[in-house]
Amino acid sequence: MFYRYEHNNMDETTPLMIRPQQGPQTGQLPWDPRRSCIAGVLVLITLTLERLAFYALVANLFLFLSLGRWSPDSGMTAVLLLVGVAHFSALGGGWLADAWIGRYWALVAGLSLYVVGFSLLTAAAAGVLCNPANSTSPFCVTEMYAIIICVGFAAGTVRANFPSFGAEQVKYGGTDSLRRFFNWYYWCVNIGSLLGVGALSYVALDMPNGFLRAFAGTCGCLIVALILFACGRPYYLVHRPAGSVLMNILCILCEAISGRCHLRRQTSIQSSPLIERRSQRPVTSPSWLDYAKIRYGGSHHDAAVEDVKKLGIVLLLFTSLLPYWLVFFQIETGFQEQGVHLKIGFEKNFNMPTAWLSLFDQIFILALIPVMNSVIYPYFDRHGYRVTLLSRIAFGMSFSFMAAIAAGVLEFLSIYQWKHGNRVTQVIHNVTYNASDMSLLWQVPQYCLVGTAEVFAGVAGLEFAYSAAPRPLQGVAMGMFSAMEGIGSLLGTALISALSPTWIRKDSQHFQGHLDYYFFLLAGIQGWALAIFTLWLLVKRVREMNSTPTPPPEPAPVS
C-alpha cells in the first residue's frame, strides 16, 4: 500500500500538489512562505472557533429545548434537523462558491449567517425573542426552527468551502504541504469539538443562566472568527468563481446520454455505415460521457467533460466510504446505547457520564495527528516511500473494522456476564438501567480505534476530495463529501430502525436483544467494503507497474 518514489522526483502525481517554478515564464506569483503561513493559520483559527460553536449547539440543544418544555421526540427531531441541514446544505454552499461568489465571500456569508443565528439563539435564551414565562406549551417553536435552519445553512456553507480555501493557501509549499494542512485541519476540528462539548457544556449546565452565558460566549467566538477571517484578506489567494457549474454538469450528462442513445439507434438502423465509421475510430472506444464532447457530436470541450469524469471518480470513492461512516456514527448511537448498560460507578460514589468516552476519540485524534505529521510520515518519506491517499483510506477502513469487532466482542461479554448474575442497577439522569458488572472503561479501545480510523480515512478523504476534483468543482466535491456523511448517518438510523424489534430492544429488555450482532453486522459490511477496496488497489497497482515502460538495455561496451 506504499508507493515508492525516487528522491529526485518528490512530487505527487496530481498537478495540484506540484510546486510551480518561480519566474515570469510560468505566469504565477513567486512563492511566499510568510504569506502562506499567515493565511493558513488564520483559516485554522477561524475553523476552530466555528467548529466550537457548531458542536456546542449540537451537544446542548436537546437539553435546552427540554428545559423549554419541548417533548423528547420534538427535541431529537430538532437536533437531527440541525445536523441534516448542516450536512446536505454543504452541496449548495459548494455550488454557490464555485459558480457565483467564490470561496472567500461564501465563507464570509456563512460566518455572518452564523452570527445572526447565534445572536437570535442568545436572545431566545435571554427571553427577549419570545417570553416563556407563564406558559405551559413549548416556547419559541417557530423561532427555534428558523434559528436551526439558519445555523444549519451557515454550517453547510462553511463546511463545504473551508477545506478547499485553506488548501489553496498552502498547496504550493512543497510535496507534503497538503498532507500536513489536512492533518492540522482535522486536528483543529477536534479541538473545536472538544472545547464546544466540554467547556461550553459545563458552562451551560453548572452556572446560573448557563445557556445564556454559553450561547452568548459562542456568539462572541463567531464574531471574533468573522473579524479574523476578514482581516486576513490581504494574505489570501482568492480565485474567481467559474460560472454555473452544476448547470454545465447537467448539460454534459444530458448530452452524453442523448448522444449514446442516438448512436445505438444508428447501430440498429444503419449497420454498414456504422461499420465504416467504426473503422475510422481509434481502437479505444469512447466512454458514454465522451459523447458530450464536440468531436463526438456534443457541444462541450474535452476539458469540461474530463472534469465531470474526475468528479465521478470522487463520488465513487465517497460511496465506498459509506460503511466507514456507518461505524463512525456509532459514537453517537450504538456506543452510547452500549455504555448505559455497562457499570459507570467507580470508587467514592463517582459515576462517569457515558458521553465522556466520546472525548477519548477526540483526545486520541489530537495526540495522534502531530505524531503522524512529525514522525511517521516523515520517516517513510526519508526512506523513499510515500503513503498514498488511497492507502491511508484503506488503513482507516481497517481500523474502523477493528472498532466494530471490538464493540461486538465487548457487548457479547457484557451479555454473558449479565446472564450469569454479574449485574448492577444504576440511575442515569433519573432513569434506572440494568447493567452488567463490566466497567464502562472497556469501551475506550473502540473509541480509540474509531479515532485512528478518522486520522487515516477522514483526513485522506478530505485531501482526496480536494486533490482529485478539478478546481472549478472543488466546492461541489467538498459538499458531496459532507452529504455522504449525512447519507451514512441516515443509513445508520434506518438500519437501527429495521433491527429494533429483534436485535436492538428498549432499555428494559436490552440483555434480551443482541446489540453484539448489530456490531458484528457493521463489521461485516465494513470488512466486505475493505476487501473490495483493497483488491481494487492491488489491481490498480499491478496495472500501473505493467504500464510503466522499461528502459532499453544499455549497449555493450566496445572492446
| CA nearest neighbour of 113 among 225, 18, 205, 31 | 225
CA separation for the pair 173, 93 (Å, rounded)? 27
pTM: 0.72
What are the distances in angstroms from CA 212 to CA 66, 116, 125, 205, 237?
A: 15, 16, 5, 11, 38
The verdict on 262 and 223 lying in the same domain is no
The verdict on 333 and 418 lying in the same domain is yes
The predicted structure's pLDDT at residue 222: 93
Burial class (CB in 10 A: 0-12, 13-18, 19+), 276: exposed
Is the separation of the CB atoms in 36 and 169 below 8 Å? yes
Q: Is 427 helix (H, G, I), strand (E, B) or coil?
A: strand
The verdict on 395 and 291 lying in the same domain is no
pLDDT by residue, tens only, the chain of 559 residues: 444 333 333 333 333 233 333 333 333 445 678 888 888 899 999 999 999 999 888 877 877 887 777 775 577 677 778 888 888 888 888 888 877 888 899 999 999 999 999 999 988 888 787 765 555 667 778 888 899 899 999 998 998 888 888 888 887 776 678 888 888 888 888 888 888 877 777 777 666 677 888 888 899 999 999 999 999 888 888 877 766 566 677 777 777 777 667 665 565 555 444 444 444 444 455 676 777 777 777 777 777 777 777 777 888 888 888 999 888 878 777 787 788 788 877 665 666 665 566 677 778 888 888 888 888 888 888 887 878 888 889 999 999 999 999 999 999 999 888 888 888 887 765 667 788 888 888 988 998 899 899 889 988 888 888 777 777 777 778 778 888 888 887 787 778 777 777 887 776 777 888 888 989 999 999 999 999 999 988 888 887 777 655 555 555 555 4
Is the separation of the CB atoms in 83 and 58 below 8 Å? yes
What residue has cell string 489536512?
182
Could you count the other beta carbons within 10 Å of the beta carbon of residue 384? 12
Dihedral over Cα of 285, 288, 290, 291: its sign: positive
Q: Is residue 555 part of a domain?
A: no
Is the separation of the CB atoms in 328 and 488 below 8 Å? yes
The 10s digit of each residue's pLDDT in 85-107 is: 888 888 888 888 877 888 899 99
Q: Is residue 305 part of a domain?
A: no
The verdict on 224 and 264 lying in the same domain is no
Q: Is residue 66 part of a domain?
A: yes
HSE of 277, CA atoms in CB hemisphere, 13 A: 10
The verdict on 385 and 423 lying in the same domain is yes
CATH of the domain at 415: 1.20.1250.20
The verdict on 124 and 215 lying in the same domain is yes
Output DSSP code: residue 300.
B
Cβ partners under 8 Å of residue 152, min gap 6 = 81, 82, 83, 84, 85, 86, 89
Amino acid identity, position 166: G
User: How do the residues of the chain divide into helix, strand and coil, expressed in percent and rounded to 5?
Assistant: 75, 5, 20
The verdict on 255 and 403 lying in the same domain is no
Q: Please tell me the total count of domains within the chain.
A: 3
Find the domain containing 121 and state its range.
Answer: 32-243
The verdict on 261 and 216 lying in the same domain is no
- Return the axis-axis angle of helices 141-170 and 33-67, rounded to nearest 10°: 160
The verdict on 375 and 328 lying in the same domain is yes
Burial class (CB in 10 A: 0-12, 13-18, 19+), 469: buried
The verdict on 334 and 291 lying in the same domain is no
